[in-house]
Amino acid sequence: MKNPIILAIDTSLDETSVAVTCGRRVLTNVVFSQIPYHQKYRGVMPALAKRLHQEKLPIVIKKALQNTRLKMEKIDAVAVTRGPGQAIALEVGIAEAKRLTVQYHKSLIGVNHMVGHIYSAFCQNRNGLPQRDFSFPYLCLTISGGHTQLVLFKDHLKFELLGETLDDAVGEALDKAARMLGFGYPGGPIIERLAGLGDPDKYPFSVPMSQQPGLDFSYSGIKTAILYKIQKMGKLSKQNTLDLAASFQQALIDSLILKILRALKQYPTIRRLIVVGGVASNQKVRQSVRRQFRAYEVLFPALPSVFTDNAAMIGVAAYYYWQKKQWFSPVSLERQPNLSF
């Protein structure tokens, strides 16, 4: 049977994104990033995000259809992120997805955004590359601005949450540290750039949650630690700033590696790792994970556009919901800001 063509929408936070996918192939992935609009507030403003989603979503849908030279009539299903995310942002995408399914008589698929992030490691370009066949089980680390999770991926759409952050996400910690050092949003790429020029051993931070058992994460302690350090040091020289960024990034990476090691000890039969989310685009993170886990197959997303929030990963995940006939009626699909696995 021919794979369905899916129009996917993600408005979970600060990106207005629409993709067209066919199976695992991404035919187009349009992302309107709201980052410049939120930058002056140094973080995401939910009411502004909602207004921008409302304004931009119709334009982004039109662009995605134009890019693929498809009309709505040729689309088989509309997929949309139903959670987790910002409630008032999610509802913009959901309302539009419902409208399209009713107007054009299409199937409706509600996708868990975190499932989307995991499937981002299997997104292919329009020619079906890379092939990357599934070989379960996987241990997945999702590191983004909103989440830090360790998940067992047992089979299609079968997940077990092993650990998650008790407070800030790792991306959020990077964003806040950048702000404390006097830089803008998003902080992850800024810290990565600074850290590349600094000494990671100069200001040793204790590795978050290394003294506590279990697979959960916590980054509020290290956030306070860097704040105190900055206050104590007074005016920072350029070199101080670079060294602080490098030391902070190193402690975060060490905490991620430590949790993966612990999880693999608990599940010794696992041979494959997946690392996804915005923070996974950090070269030092990728290098460190690859180096530490040479004996494992380590998968990062192959397409650069699917690390941070995007609709392509939602469309690819939706294909598996479709295969399992997990459809919604427009009445039953509701936003779920705190949706878990």
Binding site for ligand KG4 (CB under 6 A): 13, 144-146, 171-172, 174-175, 186-189, 192, 277-279, 281-282, 308-309
Considering beta carbons, is residue 97 or 251 the nearer one to Zn ion?
A: 97
Contacts of 306 (CB under 8 A, 6+ apart): 26, 29, 120, 123, 312, 313
Q: Which of 86, 124, 144, 247 binds Zn ion (CB under 5 A)?
A: 144
Considering beta carbons, is residue 76 or 216 the nearer one to ligand KG4?
A: 216
Considering beta carbons, is residue 163 or 188 the nearer one to ligand KG4?
A: 188
The mark string for 155-194 relative to Zn ion (x by CB under 5 A, - otherwise) is: ----------------------------------------
Give min distance, CB of 60 to ligand KG4, in A: 16
Q: Residue 14 interacts with Zn ion (CB under 5 A)? A: no
Q: Which residues pair with residue 80 across a beta bridge?
A: 9, 110
Give min distance, CB of 135 to ligand KG4, in A: 25
Give min distance, CB of 9 to ligand KG4, in A: 15
Give the full edge-to-edge strand order of the sheet including 25-33: 25-33, 15-22, 5-10, 77-83, 107-112
Considering beta carbons, is residue 17 or 249 the nearer one to Zn ion?
A: 17
Answer with the entry of ligand KG4, Zn ion, none that 279 interacts with (C-beta below 5 to 8 A by kind).
ligand KG4
The three-class DSSP label of residue 10 is strand
Q: Which residues pair with residue 109 across a beta bridge?
A: 79
Distance set, CA 312 to CA 45, 235, 339 (Å): 24, 44, 20
State the Cα–Cα distance between residues 43 and 329, nearest whole angstrom. 35
Query: Number of residues in contact with Zn ion, rule: CB under 5 A?
Result: 2
The residue to which tokens 């190193």 are assigned: 250
Give min distance, CB of 277 to ligand KG4, in A: 4
DSSP strand pairing (138-143 vs 107-112): unpaired
Give min distance, CB of 124 to ligand KG4, in A: 20
Output the CA angle 115-120-121, nearest 5 degrees. Answer: 115
